[in-house]
Amino acid sequence: MAINTKKTCCLRIGPRANISCTPIQTLSGISLQWFDEIRYLGVHIIQSSRFKISLDRPKRSFYRVANSIFGRVGRVASEEVTIQLFSSKCVPILLYGLEACVLNKHQIASLDFVINRFFMKLFKTNNIEIVKACQEFFGFQLPSVQIAKRITKFEIQFQERSRLIKL
């Protein structure tokens, strides 16, 4: 099987992640490149002593789409319409593939912060209590809650598939 060296790269994860090593070469003599961050199935994995992902690019994409929605509908559309567009177009970009990853408290808090900033912009306030009341009124759940539900659903489906395979 031929290896596409333009799309193949190397990344180290583990206690020796920061130590440089010799280049890996294919049978044809082409060296594979080493990177500090790679994208695999839409998730950005970074070099670390433990398995770690980066949320910088998903957050950037999220802001780009959210600002696009604000730019197009602005203050013309109702809050319900804006939140529905936001929920269907922006939130999936932010949460893509995270149910399969282990996130620390800081990463989950940063995702919640992104959503809270959107609501602050939408309702023209900096008061977090008002933001939480608006989220509750419109039935919007923060990423910390959504991810927890997704992880539970993911684990249940995994257990069911494992049980079916054993049969």
Q: Where are the domains of the chain?
A: 1-54, 55-166
pLDDT at position 129, please? 94
Which residues does 30 contact at the CB level (< 8 Å), separation at least 6?
5
Nearest residue to 3 via CA among 35, 29, 26 = 26
pLDDT at position 167, please? 65
pLDDT at position 74, please? 74
Q: H or E segment at 58? A: helix 56-73
Sign, CA dihedral 101-107-109-115, equals negative
pLDDT at position 21, please? 81
Residue 37 dihedral angles phi and psi, to the nearest 5°:
-150, 135
pTM of the complete model beyond 0.95: no
Nearest residue to 113 via CA among 59, 52, 40, 75 = 59
Which residues does 107 contact at the CB level (< 8 Å), separation at least 6?
53, 55
Please give the chain's pLDDT, 167 residues, in tens: 678 888 888 889 988 888 888 888 888 888 888 888 988 888 899 898 888 999 999 999 999 999 999 888 877 888 899 999 999 999 999 999 887 788 889 999 999 999 999 999 999 999 999 999 999 999 999 998 988 888 888 888 878 887 877 76
pLDDT at position 30, please? 85
